Chain A
Amino acid sequence: MAISLTDAAANRVRTFIENRGKGLGLRLGVKTTGCSGLAYVLEFVDELEEGDSVFEHQDVKVIVDAKSLVYLDGTQLDFVKNGLNEGFEFTNPNQKDECGCGESFTV
C-alpha cells in the first residue's frame, strides 16, 4: 500500500504547513457523499488517530486512515496550475468514474 506526492505537491504542502505554523502533515481521505458516491478529503493534520498510516515524501508526511487507504492505494497527489486557479489533483488508479466537476468519483 502506498501513496505518493509529486515534488510540486510536496513543496506546496511544506510551505502551507510552515505558513500555518503547526501541523504534522497532510491528511488524504475519502468520504461517501457527492453526486458520484465518493469524495476526496484534503486536510491539515494536528494529531494522528488510531489506524492512520503515514507515508513520507521529501520529509512531508501524508496521513491516510485505514478506511480511506483501501480506495487511495497507488494514488499520486499533484499540485497544478489551471489558469488563475491552482490546487491539488488526485491521480487515483482505483477511480472508475467521476462526476462532471471531478469532485466526486466512484470506484
Chain B
Amino acid sequence: MALLQIAEPGQSTNPHEHKLAIGIDLGTTNSLVASVRSGEAKVLPDSQGRFSLPSVVHYGADRTVNVGFAAKANAENDPENTIVSVKRFLGRGLADINSTYGKLPYIFVEKQNKLSLLTSQGEKNPIEVSAEILYVLKQQAENTLGGDLVGAVITVPAHFDDAQRQGTKDAAQLAGINVLRLINEPTAAAVAYGLDSGQEGIVAIYDLGGGTFDISILRLNKGVFEVLSTGGDTALGGDDFDSKIVESILAKAGIDTELSAKSLRKLADLGCKIKEQLSDTDSVDYEIEIESQTTPQKISGSFSKQDFENSIADLVKSTLRSCRRALKDADVEKEQVLEVVMVGGSTRVPYVREQVKAFFAREPLTSIDPDQVVAIGASIQADLLAGNKPDSDMLLLDVTPLSLGLETMGGLVEKVIPRNTTIPVARAQEFTTYKDGQTMMAIHVLQGERELVDDCRSLARFVLKDIPPLTAGIAVIRVTFNIDADGLLSVTALEKSTGVESSIQVKPSYGLEQFEIADMIKASMTNAKEDIQARMLREQQVDAIRMMEALDAAMSESPELLSEDDKLAIEQAIGKLKLTTQGTDGQAIKHAIKFLDDTSQPFAARRMENSIKVALTGHSVDAV
C-alpha cells in the first residue's frame, strides 16, 4: 500500500503522477535535501537519521566512489583522492584556484580551459564530483518520498557567476536531476521565513557557516527578490572561532612549541565542543592530554563565556564591517532593513546574535534551524514550481466550473482537467489505439461530472488522422487540454511516433448558466453509485469485446495450432461471454472473461512458442 500525503485543495495528483519536488542546498562543507510533504517543508534524513551530508567525495583505488561520511573518513589517509569542498572549484580556472586557496592536496590538470582533478580513477572535473554528491541526495530523497522526482530547486551563493551557475546545472543534469530553477541561497532563506509573501522592502541575510561568511542585501519587489549587494569573507567561519579558543587555551598553559598533527586535531575538536557548550552554559571545564615536543602533557582549566566572547570579538566585528559595506554598496540605510535572517550553524552562538541584533537594531529571525533554512526555502520554491500549490503570487484568475474530459471506449468519460482547477492550466494524457491497424481516432471533448458520455455535455469533436497502422495498444496519442487565461480551451491530439497533430478550440463555459452548472454537479452526486456501476459494467464489456476480437484474429491466423477439442472449448467459452456481455451483470462478465482466458491459455502458449521458433529459425544457437 502506497503511503499518501495531503495535497492542497484541488491539487491531488493521479496515481503514479505525484509531483515530488525537492530543494537542495549544495553547500561547500555540507549538503542537504528537503521536501514539502502534506504542506510541511522538512529536511529529509538519510537512513541513519542524519540531516546533512558532508560534501566530500572519495575515489578509491578499487574503483569505489564514496560520498559523505564514508568519504570524509578517508580525508586524512588518502587526501589526494578525497575531494573536499569541491564547490570552490566549480566554474573556476586553475589560476583562480591557486591565487585564492594556495596549497591544496590535489593534482590539478587544466586542458583547454577545463579544470580537472587527477584521482586514482583518472581525471574528474568539478562538475562530475558535484554530480556524485547530488546523485546521493537524489537517491536519499527518492527513497524517502517513495517515487521519482519531478525536479529540484538547487541553491547557489548569490555571488556565483554564470560559469559557476552553469556548472551547478550541468552537475545536476549529470546526476539525473531535472533542475526546476537555481535560486540564490539568501533568497531561499528569505522564502523559508515566508518573506516573499510579506511586506515589500529590504531584507538582510547574515550567513555565517563553518568556513565562510556571506552577507546579502535583497529587495523584495512584486514577489521577486532582487540581490542588491553581496559581501563577506571566504575564509571566516565557525572553524575560526574554534581555533581562537585553542589559541587562548595554549596561551594560558604557556605552550608555544610545535604540536603533533594528532594533538592539533584533538585540540580543534575540544575548541568546537567548548564553543557549542558555551551557547547554553556560562563556563566549561576541560582536560586534555597533548604531545608537546614528544612528551605527553596534560592541560586542564576552565573556559568562560566571557573568555570566548573576548577571543571572537574581532572576528564578529569584521563580519559587521562587511555588513556595513554591503549596505553601502546597495545604497540603503540600516534603518530601511525590514528583516534580518540568520543562516549557518555559527549564528547559533548567542554572542553573534546579540551583535547582529545591536548592529541592525532589530531582532534577527532565528526560529528555523540555521543549518536547514536554505534547503527548506528551496523545497518550498520547488513545491510551488512543480505545481503542487496554487501559486499565491500569481494572479488567481479563475477556476474551471466543471470537469473536462474525453470519450473513451464504451462511452465512458476520462476526466483530464477536474473542476475547480485554477486557470490557466495545461494537462496532457496519453491514449492508445483500440484495434489492430487503426489509423484514425475520434476525439470527443466533454464537460461534466458524470461517468458516462450520455450524461455529460458534448463540447467538440474532431478526428486525428494518419495514425500509422500498428498493433492495438502500440501507438501513443498524447491529448493535451489547454485552458488559457481567458478561459479558452484548446485540445490537441498528437501521435508521438509520426508527429501527426490535430487540434480544436472551444469556449467551455459558453452558454452555461450558473444554475445549470450547479444542477450538473448535483446530478453527479445523486447518481454516484449508479454511475460507477455503469462505468464498471462498460469497462468489462469493452474488455470482453476486445478479448473476443483478439482471439478471433488469432484463431483464423494459426488454425493449425488448434486441436478440434480446444477449438470447441474456446468457441463455447466465447459463446458464453457473448451472452453475458449483453447482460448488465459486470461481475458475471468478469468471470466469463476469466473463463475464456483460462480456456484459451494453452492455445496462446503454443502461439507464443511458435512465433519464437519462427523468429529463431535459421539462427545458430551461438548467435542467440
Tell me the bound Cα distance from A82 to B146 in angstroms: 10
For the complex, what is the distance from the CA of A37 to the CA of B529, rounded to whole Å?
14
CB distance from B301 to the nearest CB of A (A): 44
Give bound CA distance, A12 to B40, whole Å. Answer: 11
A19 within 8 A of B: yes
Interface centre among A16, A99, A106 (most CB of B within 10 A): A16
Instruction: From A13, A15, A31, name the one whose CB has the most chain B CB atoms within 10 angstroms.
Output: A31
Interface code A12-42, partner B: CB below 8 Å = 1, 0 otherwise?
1101100110000011010111110111111
Of A43, A68, A84, the residue contacting B7 (CB under 8 A) is A43
In the complex, identify which listed stretch (B171-179, B180-188, B520-528) lies at the interface while the others stay far away: B520-528
Q: Enumerate chain B residues within 8 angstroms of A66, measured Cβ to Cβ.
A: 525-526, 528
In the complex, whether B498 has a CB less than 8 A from a CB of chain A is: no
* B6 engages A85 (CB within 8 Å): no
Q: Is the CB of A43 within 8 A of B6?
A: yes
Q: Is B143 an interface residue, CB under 8 A from the partner? A: yes
Q: Mark B443-458, 1 if CB is under 8 A from A, else 0.
A: 0000001010000000
Chain A residue with the shortest CB-CB distance to B146: A85
- Known contacts A19-B40, A99-B15; decide if A80 and B3 are in contact (CB<8 Å): yes
A41 to B146, CA, bound (A): 17
Instruction: Decide: A51 near B522, CB < 8 A? Known: A43-B7, A43-B8, A107-B532.
Output: yes
Asked whether, in the complex, the Cβ of A16 is within 8 Å of the Cβ of B15, the reply is no
Given the known interface contacts A37-B539, A46-B9, A70-B529, the answer about A89 and B3 at a Cβ–Cβ threshold of 8 Å is: yes
Q: Which of A32, A40, A50, A101 contacts B451 (CB 8 A)?
A: A32
Given contacts A33-B14, A33-B415, A67-B525, is CB(A88)–CB(B3) below 8 Å? yes
**CB distance B9 to A34 under 8 Å?**
no
For B27-41 the 0/1 string (1 means CB < 8 A from A) is: 000000000011110
Q: Which of B4, B9, B47, B414 has the most CB of A within 10 A?
A: B4
* Distance to closest chain B CB from A31 (angstroms): 7
Q: Determine if B15 and A101 form an interchain contact, defined as CB atoms under 8 angstroms apart.
A: yes
Q: Does A86 contact B (CB under 8 A)?
A: yes
Instruction: Please tell me if A44 contacts chain B, counting CB pairs below 8 Å.
Output: yes
A31 B1 Cβ-Cβ under 8 A? no
| Interface check A55, CB cutoff 8 A | no
A104 within 8 A of B: yes
A88 x B6 contact (CB < 8 A): yes
| A50/B522 in contact, CB under 8 A | yes
Does B5 have its Cβ within 8 Å of any Cβ on chain A? yes
Q: In the complex where A51-B525, A84-B144 touch, is A16 in contact with B6 (Cβ < 8 A)?
A: yes
Given A50-B522, A70-B529, are A32 and B535 neighbors across the interface (CB < 8 Å)?
Answer: yes
Interface size class of A (residues with CB under 8 A): 35 or more
A43 to chain B, nearest CB (A): 5
Q: Find chain B residues with CB under 8 A from A83 CB.
A: 143
Q: How far is the CB of B552 from chain A (nearest CB, A)?
A: 27
Contact of B45 (CB < 8 Å), options: A15, A27, A84: A84
Set A12, A26, A43, A88: member contacting B10, Cβ < 8 A: A43
Check A43 against B9 for contact (C-beta < 8 Å): yes
The reply to whether B525 and A44 contact each other, CB–CB distance below 8 Å, is no
Give the one of A26, A71, A87 with max B CB within 10 A. A87
Report Cα–Cα, A68/B228, bound state, in Å.
Answer: 52
Chain A residues with CB below 8 A from B9, complex form: 27, 43-46
- Tell me if B415 and A32 are in contact (CB < 8 A): yes
Query: Which of B2, B3, B418 is the one whose CB lies under 8 Å from A31?
Result: B418
The answer to whether B3 and A82 have CB atoms under 8 Å apart is: yes
B7 to A85, Cβ gap below 8 A?
no
How big is chain B's contact interface, by range?
A: 35 or more
CB distance from B136 to the nearest CB of A (A): 14
CB of B40 within 8 A of CB of A102, answer no
Q: Give bound CA distance, A85 to B144, whole Å.
A: 5
Which residue of A is nearest B420, CB measured?
A49
A7 to B608, CA, bound (A): 53
B375 at interface (Cβ–Cβ under 8 A)? no
Chain B residues within 8 Å of A27, by CB: 9
Does B525 contact A13, Cβ atoms closer than 8 Å? no
Bound CA–CA A65/B513 (angstroms): 23
Q: A33-B14, A37-B536 are in contact. Are A89 and B418 (CB under 8 A)?
A: no
How far is A91 from B451 in the complex, measured between Cα atoms in Å?
25
For the complex, what is the distance from the CA of A44 to the CA of B1, rounded to whole Å? 21
Complexed CA–CA distance, A107 and B529 (Å):
11
Interface 0/1 of A56-99, CB less than 8 Å to B:
00000000011110110000000010111111111000000011
The residue that A44 contacts in the complex, of B4, B6, B522, with Cβ under 8 A, is: B6
Say if the beta carbon of B12 comes within 8 Å of chain A. yes
Report the Cα distance A90→B15, complex, angstroms: 14
On chain A, the residues within 8 Å of B522 by CB distance are: 50-51
How far apart are A37's CB and chain B's nearest CB, in angstroms? 7
CA distance A106 to B4 in the complex (A): 17
Q: Name which residue of chain A comes closest to B521, CB basis.
A: A50
Q: How far is the CB of A105 from chain B (nearest CB, A)?
A: 9
Report Cα–Cα, A26/B8, bound state, in Å: 10
* CB of B594 to closest CB in A, whole Å: 13
Given contacts A84-B47, A98-B1, contact A42 B12 (CB under 8 A): yes
Complex contacts, A20 vs chain B, CB 8 Å: 39-40
Residues of chain A contacted by B145 (CB below 8 angstroms)? 85
* Residue in chain B with minimal CB distance to A71: B532
B399 to chain A, nearest CB (A): 12
| CB-defined contacts of A107 to chain B, threshold 8 Å | 532
Chain A residues in 8 Å Cβ range of B532: 32, 38, 70-71, 107
Q: List 20 A-B contacts (CB under 8 A).
A: A16-B6, A16-B38, A19-B39, A34-B15, A35-B16, A42-B5, A43-B7, A43-B10, A46-B9, A50-B521, A66-B525, A68-B528, A71-B532, A87-B3, A88-B4, A88-B5, A89-B1, A90-B4, A104-B15, A106-B536
Nearest 4 pairs of A and B residues by beta carbon: A87-B3, A103-B15, A102-B1, A34-B15
Chain B residues with CB under 8 Å of chain A are: 1-12, 14-16, 37-40, 44-45, 47, 143-146, 414-415, 418, 449, 451, 518, 521-522, 524-526, 528-529, 532, 535-536, 539
* Other A-B pairs, 11, CB within 8 Å; known A34-B15, A67-B525, A104-B15: A16-B39, A39-B14, A39-B15, A50-B518, A50-B521, A70-B532, A71-B532, A85-B3, A89-B4, A90-B4, A98-B1
